[in-house]
Each structure stands twice: as C-alpha cells, then as structure tokens.
C-alpha cells in the first residue's frame, strides 16, 4: 500500500510525495519548488527515486533542476509530447511506470486539455492528475482544447468511484462557489462546503477526495444532469446538443464571469 504525503508550495499548490509503509524510498509528483521537497525528504529521511511530471507549467516543473543537483540519480518521467526539463522517460497513453522499491505501479493516461500533452498517473486506487480535475472543478484550457478537456474528464469519470484524487491545487472551496451557481439546490454541495471549511479551519487540505464525491458535486462531470443542462442552456441562450457543448459553456462561463 502506498502512502502519500502532502507538501504545500507557493500560495495553493500541492506537491505529492509517494512512499509506502517503510517510508525508506519515495517518488515526487510535480515538484514546482524544490525547497519544501528537500526539507520534507531530509526531515523524514526518505530517499527519492524519481519525479512524476504531469505537464509543463512552471509551478509543476520549476524544482526539477535543483532536485537533480542534490539527487543526480533521479529518473524524470513526463509527457512525451511536452517539453519537460531533464526528462529521462517520455511517457504516453497506455505506458506503465513501475516503482519496484515501493511495490507500486501506475498507468499513464492521456488527459490533454489543460495543456496539449497533459498526462495523469493512475494506480494503487489513486489518481495523480495535475491540473485536469480539481475538487468541484477542472483546469482552464491553455494550449489544449475544450473538447480535449471534456474527453479527459469523461475518461476519468469511468474510473472507480473509490479512487482517491490527488490534484495539484487547493481550489475546492472556491470551486464550490461556482458549482452553486450551476446547481443552487444541490444539497451535496452544501454538505461538501461545510466539510471543506472544517478541514481548512483545522489546517488540513481538502485534497485528496474521492472521485465518487465529484460525481455528485462537480458540474463538469455532471453535464448529463437535467439541472446542469438547463443552466448551461440558459447561459448559452440556446439549446445545446451535446455534453461537450454543455461542458464548454460552463467552462467559458466560469472563465469569463466567475474567476
């Protein structure tokens, strides 16, 4: 069984340190900043084996060079179709990352959309998804496309509801605000907001969360729900024919009116 340690960085980023019960070795996901990672490794006396990178944005790759100065043996896994500094293992959809020292493995999923070559790592009942899906939300589209991001979310929605989602930002409470615009009568959102405030007031993260919780609260995974469809059509001012159109309407609405 893996164990995952949360390393906060910048204003709202999370870097993930994957280890196991022995806590002798570890793998780092999306080290945007090396300093907090180095401090955590030293404090816990964990030997890092590799870096798992989801996409090319600076707040996910900015710490790679410094970590390699201290640990030059590190393997750097990252998307094959993006420019990742010091990458040693280019990955694409369907590849597998074997972590023998942790007795764990992860399947690589193409989840392009936020960026054109974004990947996620799925295994051990866990999903490390970078900026593709957040608590009650999803990433903006930068050099990918809305259609790609919708397809990525639909793919993630096919994973088991028990999957723990490790995204890269603490956005849940803010995202719930937008989700309430979409579904003001969704009582699951009210319950989740209360739970999230309790976590934050206790100094804890709202991440990870179960994928099942997203199915009942994340509007970007609920484009088949009549209330969500009705709201999207009201915003668009016309009938929408596909879930992809509904998704795009919600994402653009959030970009232009809420954020």
Average pLDDT, the chain: 97
Selecting among 30, 33, 56, 60, the annotated active-site residue is 60
| Residues 6+ positions from 151 with CB-CB distance below 8 Å | 113, 244
Please measure the distance between the N-terminal and C-terminal CA atoms of the chain and give it in whole angstroms: 38
Active site (annotated) includes residue 60: yes
Q: Is 203 exposed, middle or buried (CB count within 10 Å of its CB: 0-12, 13-18, 19+)?
A: exposed
pTM: 0.98
Task: Give the pLDDT confidence of 169-217 residue by residue, as tens digits.
Answer: 999 999 999 999 999 999 999 999 999 999 999 999 999 999 999 999 9
Q: What is the average per-residue pLDDT within 211-224?
A: 98
The pLDDT value given to residue 257: 87
Q: What is the average per-residue pLDDT within 116-139?
A: 98
Region for residue 210 given its phi and psi (left: phi exceeds 0; alpha: psi -120 to 50; beta: otherwise): beta
The pLDDT value given to residue 167: 98
Q: Which residues pair with 97 in a beta bridge?
A: 106
Active site (annotated) includes residue 57: yes
Binding residues for Zn(2+), as ranges, are 55, 57, 59-60, 114, 131, 169
Confidence bin at 20 (pLDDT 50/70/90): very high
The pLDDT value given to residue 259: 63
Confidence bin at 83 (pLDDT 50/70/90): very high
Rg of the chain over Cα atoms, rounded to whole angstroms, equals 18
Length of the chain: 259
Peptide bond into 208 cis (omega under 30): yes
Q: What proportion of the chain, given as a percentage, has pLDDT over 70?
A: 100
Token digits of residue 199: 């976590």
Q: What is the average per-residue pLDDT within 226-242?
A: 97
Binding residues, as ranges, are 55, 57, 59-60, 114, 131, 169
Domain spanning 2-175+197-210, CATH class: alpha beta
Q: By three-state DSSP, how is residue 65 classified?
A: helix
């Amino acid at each position: 069984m893996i164990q995952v340690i949360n390393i906060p960085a910048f204003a709202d980023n999370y870097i993930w340190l994957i280890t196991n019960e022995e806590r002798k070795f570890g793998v780092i996901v999306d080290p945007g900043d090396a300093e907090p990672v180095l401090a955590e490794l030293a404090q816990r006396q964990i030997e890092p084996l590799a870096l798992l990178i989801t996409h090319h944005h600076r707040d996910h790759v900015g710490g790679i060079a410094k970590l390699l100065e201290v640990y030059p043996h590190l393997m750097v896994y990252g998307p094959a179709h993006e420019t990742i500094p010091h990458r040693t293992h280019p990955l694409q959809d369907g590849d597998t990352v074997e972590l023998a020292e942790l007795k764990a493995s992860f399947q690589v999923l193409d989840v392009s959309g936020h960026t054109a070559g974004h990947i996620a790592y799925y295994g051990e009942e866990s999903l490390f998804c970078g900026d593709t899906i957040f608590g009650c939300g999803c990433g903006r589209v930068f050099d990918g496309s809305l259609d790609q991001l919708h397809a990525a979310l639909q793919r993630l929605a096919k994973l088991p509801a028990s999957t723990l989602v490790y995204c890269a930002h603490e956005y849940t409470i803010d995202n719930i605000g937008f989700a309430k615009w979409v579904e003001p009568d969704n009582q699951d959102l009210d319950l989740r907001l209360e739970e999230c405030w309790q976590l934050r007031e206790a100094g804890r993260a709202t991440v990870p969360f179960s994928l099942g919780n997203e199915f009942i609260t994340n509007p970007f995974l609920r484009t088949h729900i009549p209330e969500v469809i009705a709201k999207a059509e009201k915003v668009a001012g016309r009938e929408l024919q596909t879930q992809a159109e509904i998704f795009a309407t919600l994402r653009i609405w959030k970009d232009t009116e809420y954020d």
